[in-house]
Structure 1
Amino acid sequence: MDNELRKVTHVENIRYDKAAEELVILDQTLLPNEEKFLRLTTAEEMYDAIKTLRVRGAPAIGICAAYSMYVLARSIPEDADFYPKLEEYGAYLNSSRPTAVNLSWAIREMLKTAKENLSLPRAALLEVLYEKAAAIHEDDIAKCTAISEYGLTVVKDGDGILTHCNAGPLATSQYGTALGPILLGTERGMKFRVFSDETRPLLQGARLTSYELQRAGVDVTLICDNMASIVMKNGWVQACFVGCDRVAANGDTANKIGTSGVAILAKHYGIPFYVLGPTSTIDIACPDGDHIPIEERDPDEIKNMWYEKPMALSDVKCYNPAFDVTDHSLIEGIITEKGICRAPYTESLAALFDNKK
């Protein structure tokens, strides 16, 4: 059983096949009914994979972007002006998803590495870029493991945990962030009761979170988002774990739409609400949630996408934001690979970056 759990926990959603020089991703839009792998070779394919959520989850997007920049660097002709062209590719990829800070972070890291090594022969420069992308991937695995360890310190065996959207291995690497403590604890023989919000508009809680947890042998119950209140009132939830796409300097956090409502309910019922994510998701230059751009998506994702027939009139107006912002006052703690930050977040989050110097 241990081997089975280990295999299920470490879902390989992104890999770079160095021998074949191919970037391969698991198409998450087809889950849970079909597991199909895509090979990304062009900037357009990479942009589309990120934009259409074939690869999704802030850390996973960053990993994919890093490998994508390496692949695109390989495609630049020898006689071309290398760095400006790589910058152009980076700007194009970065425009695919505006909210997740990991995307722009990974692109900047790859551009910085390229700029620092422009004097190298092209083959050596490309190898350095590959090593940087692989290091970003390995670093995320280490961070997810550390986040999972810290997360386990705030729950106990037998607890009920509610999660919103998807922040497991599919969204990151290895254990994941919000699901990390659950999966790591399960490997160690702990038992949790997890309530997975369906999570509109793309149903990632239903399609991905419940899929990952069910396969890992976790006691998971799928609920619609508007059922969160009753399971909390029933005393079935002792903690809420959610991921994050961007954390502002004051602790305000952007996550999948509906997260702020979960936090408000948790506050009402006296349930601790935790945000779990790597420090790369913290945007210390963003002062608060009012400065986080919120992506709006196609109204058809609400009206048509999941139905045989349209569930609303074709001309009815729709508001379809992908994210909302949870106010820092509702957050019990922000769990990172460096430890658990608590209020005041302007101080505890800033200290994480001071420690990097």
Structure 2
Amino acid sequence: KITRLVATTTSAPAAQSLAVKVRRAADAEDNIFVPLVNKGDVLPASGQLQLKSGAMLKAGMAGYIGFEVFQVEVPDRVDLNLCIGLLRIEGADLPPDLVIRIGDPIIFGWHMSAGGVLRASVTLPESNNLVLPTKHFYAPQAAEISYNGEEGHAFTQAILARAQEEWGDLAAAVGPNAGPDLALLKARIEEQNEILEESRGDAEAVRRISEEARFIRQEAARIEAKHQSAVLQRRLGKVVAAYNRIGRGRAEESDNKIFDDLSMRAQKIIDSQHESTHAAARLCLSQMRRLFLSVAWGNPAYVEAWFDRLAKDSWLYADKAAFAAMLAEGAALREKSDHDGLRTLVEKMLEARLSLGASDTVNDLATVVRG
């Protein structure tokens, strides 16, 4: 439920559409956007989102409930939109003995000034309308990414590589059925790569290239939406191949059966060619990926491969001292063959890195659920 109030003082139109990332339902495996303001809405404006907790949080314990605010340009693909703010309520923020349980109502109050400044509050109706402190607010990339020097070049090069990879997947899935659109996208990627090589040392030019790469990915998503069956077939093939290569031999027989049942269900849905069932196919794929990761993370070689990959990409870490400390810790854990410790460290490194998409947690399930 959304409640919105619009002020009548000095006003200005909203320059962008903003929304909060939420889980569709408590048992859902996908995220959606719940809008705050739409582009052109009159500011200042205020409102409340009636949400539910999607995670359990106990006073003094680790964990958090997060509210991610996005600038929305591609409503159907959360990962292609820009995260402009992340508000976290942590266990340390709760009064002693307080527990937020899954399904508990949460009110996300917000106010946007005429100048576009967003303020937020979090209230727990079932705890005597307790207003929680909102001291953990992050702007995921605005203050972290530097486009100067070799690291700015490497970061933008990686974003273009991601766009190229997504273009390749789309081309393999759709083939000539996409018409000239795919060829135009490829030309744009190649052009941006050429401009990047000519723009070393020009931080503003490099920043513009990273923005253009995001726009290219958004355009690819629009093409993808027209060819969902082919795209889903491609994704199904990739996750099955990855599971067979890395996970199947280490998994329990029961896990293999669950994976295969999901695969057959997804294939049947895709074969039906009914657009209305695509969401069910995506849910199967999400469950298959989650099962794959749960098995793969139990493989020490898989974890070590991730550590080696992250260790090479120093440009992904804004805090160089913390990055160096993590590398030293990883080397020590390897020396001791502490596989559990290395797995925990790699998870920490994944959380600490800068994002090539919208935010580092963009593909994680939201910790709040639509009310």
TM-score, with structure 1 as normaliser: 0.29
Higher RCO by CA contacts (8 Å cutoff, separation 6 or greater): 2
| Structure that is richer in strand per residue | 2
Q: Which structure would you say has the larger Rg?
A: 2
| Structure that is richer in helix per residue | 2
